Copies of this chain bind each other. A is one copy, B any other.
Amino acid sequence: MTEPPGRRERKKAATRQKIADTALRLFLERGYDPVGIRDVAAEADVAVTTVFSHFASKEALVFERDQEFEQCLTRAVTDRQPHEPLIPALHREVRALVRHCTAEGSAPVRRMIEGSPALREYEESMSLRHAQALAAALAADPRLSRSATACRATARFAIDAYALACRADDPGATVDEVFRMIEAAWAKLVSGTVSTKPIADMEGFA
């Protein structure tokens, strides 16, 4: 899966990584705003246009693992055990993602993000995409019979839990507390008032 399929793609990946590493290093050394794209390109020894062929924007240089994050989240739903209820699986994955984000080495990066309005804004818009992807995964799961609205709301709530926990004093406790709320919200709609599909529901029969 992560094997070298060819020199060209390996070189491309190497260039991308070099740019990302260089950018993060410069950002942490001198701050996000003071470092320009032209600085990053020069230090990584590539052209400015090359930077933008690998990353959609300056902010994207900081959130390099964006897609990975989204995949973790959706896979936690689609790849869970056949009869495992949704919320605990989601809870576990979000807890893991929060731990990863609040780990030892991540502190300076978080501080940098919180210190830059542009980065905070970008992170918010990423959250929206993640919530949409998660909502799609929920809506596509045949084991769940909730309305599209319930899926979208739950997806957003889960992302909220992640965002709140990343900034909280006690990330672990925050995730747990918010997911207790999400559990209640999700359970609320289990037996009716769903004006659409009346299909069976495996929830709680694990």
Contacts and interface: CB of A to CB of B under 8 A. Distances in A.
A160 B185 CA distance: 14
A149 interface: yes
Given A120-B128, A125-B124, A164-B149, A181 B189 contact: yes
A53 interface: no
Nearest to A128: B124
A156 B165 CA distance: 13
Interface string A78-91: 00000000000000
A60 B132 CA distance: 25
A69 B45 CA distance: 47
Contacts of A184: 184-185, 187-188
A58 to B, nearest CB: 14
Contact of A160 (B121, B122, B124, B160): B160
A120 B128 CA distance: 9
Contacts of A187: 184
Q: How many copies does the complex hold?
A: 2
Interface string A166-206: 00101001100110111111111100010110000000000
Interface in A18-39: none
A119 B111 CA distance: 26
Contacts of A177: 147, 149-150, 153, 189, 195
Most buried by B among A147, A152, A154, A189: A152
A15 interface: no
Interface of A: 117, 120-122, 124-125, 127-128, 147, 149-150, 152-154, 156-157, 160-161, 163-164, 168, 170, 173-174, 177-178, 180-189, 193, 195-196
Given A149-B173, A173-B195, A182-B185, 16 more contacts: A117-B125, A121-B122, A124-B124, A124-B125, A147-B177, A149-B164, A149-B168, A149-B178, A150-B181, A153-B164, A156-B160, A156-B163, A160-B160, A177-B189, A180-B193, A185-B185
